[in-house]
Amino acid sequence: MEFETTREGALKKLDHFIENEIINYNSKRNFDFGPSERKNISCLSPYITHRLISEYETVEKVLKKRPYQKVEKFIQEIFWRVYWKGWLELRPKVWVDFVEDLKNIEDDKKITEALNGETRIACFNDWVKELKQFNYLHNHTRMWFASIWIFTLKLPWQKGAELFLKYLLDGDAASNTLSWRWVGGLQTKGKNYLAQSWNIEKFTNKKYQNVKLIENPIPLQDKREYILTEIRNFNGNQKLSNLIFFENNLNLEKYNLDNYKNIYCLLLNNDKRKIKLDQKVLNFKKEIIKNCLKSISQDVKFLDISQSLSLFDEAKEFDVIYPSIGENNSFLEHLRNTKDVKFRFLKDDKDIFCWKFSNKGYFNFKSNIPKIISKFRLS
């Protein structure tokens, strides 16, 4: 299983899925037939995570070809990513606490066995190897994996979320962190997701049978409460001369790059990351950035972290294409506090509109999807 590193390649994958496979998505999407047979799902998440193609562009292209009633479930799945981002924007301390929690968890024997795929559960061990080899897992498998990690192996959910962020090409601070919390019963308090043997057997086409699991656990509990914050103001009127963007928002078409004297693309290396990435994931990010820059007529400087730190000694004000809560935003916060740098964030109006529906559960967000589609004329 290989993933494209160009926008053109990502769009071809999307077009092929819409034309040939999306019609079977509702009935086949939950089956994991293995890494060599992925026609039943789109595999678009690595591109959407980096916004080689955006969620809204994906929805628009789908609805240009298919009626909403036929693809409603696929549209809802795409909007989960927007919802999770908005949910975390409204509760940014969840990310801060997740990162801080990891500092206090040591890799004991049980954690090490799980990280190496050396448990007594064959399917789990296979999924660990698949994750590390292909840097991707089927979404249904991710749910089984997280449930087994938390409830059968009884390991800290934070270490499992860290493992996914390290190896997944589509690793995203919001979707990953909050999905793990959801499986554990922290996101919707008292309501957890349980992997069950019959379900794994059915949706792996009987590849794994009679998996011994704990199937009636108590949901995780966390006494910390997260108060809703207001979404911060973003776009101002006065443009600055310097622009920064990161690898997780490569959708540059809506920004007038000609107005900037200096444009910089930053990619954090592992020395500056809270959660270290697999080298293959870093290489994927480097390739999509390089290919993205080839399609831009303006001169963009692709900087590694050592170069970028010196940049902030020379200039103190920047426009930034907002990277959302996560590693890149934490890096900017650190610069703001240590080097007295000022940032003016640029954000997609669609995101800001959608995020206001992330104040509650996904059911509330889902009920507003038709309104979102209508407002931005995505159909």
Q: How far apart (Å, rounded) are the C-alpha atoms in residues 375 and 379?
A: 10
Maximal CA-CA distance, the chain: 63
Are 53 and 11 contacting, i.e. CB atoms less than 8 angstroms apart?
yes
The domains spanning 7-89+354-375 and 98-203 adopt the same CATH topology: no
Beta strand pairing status for 342-346 and 317-321?
parallel
Domain limits of the chain? 7-89+354-375, 98-203, 242-346
| CATH number for domain 7-89+354-375, candidates 1.10.1060, 1.10.150, 1.25.40, 1.10.730 | 1.25.40
pLDDT tens-digit profile, the chain (379 residues): 789 999 999 999 999 999 999 999 999 999 999 999 999 999 999 999 999 999 999 999 999 999 999 999 999 999 999 999 999 999 999 999 999 999 999 999 999 999 999 999 999 999 999 999 999 999 999 999 999 999 999 999 999 999 999 999 999 999 999 999 999 999 998 899 999 999 999 999 999 999 999 988 999 999 999 999 987 766 566 678 999 999 999 988 888 898 899 999 999 999 999 999 999 999 999 999 999 999 888 899 998 776 678 888 888 999 999 999 999 999 999 999 998 899 999 989 999 999 999 999 999 999 999 999 999 998 7
| CATH number for domain 98-203, candidates 3.30.70.100, 1.10.579.10, 3.40.50.2300, 1.10.1740.10 | 1.10.579.10
Tokens representing 191 are: 């309501």
Q: How far apart (Å, rounded) are the C-alpha atoms in residues 62 and 66?
A: 6
Helices 157-167 + 93-103 axis angle, to 10: 100
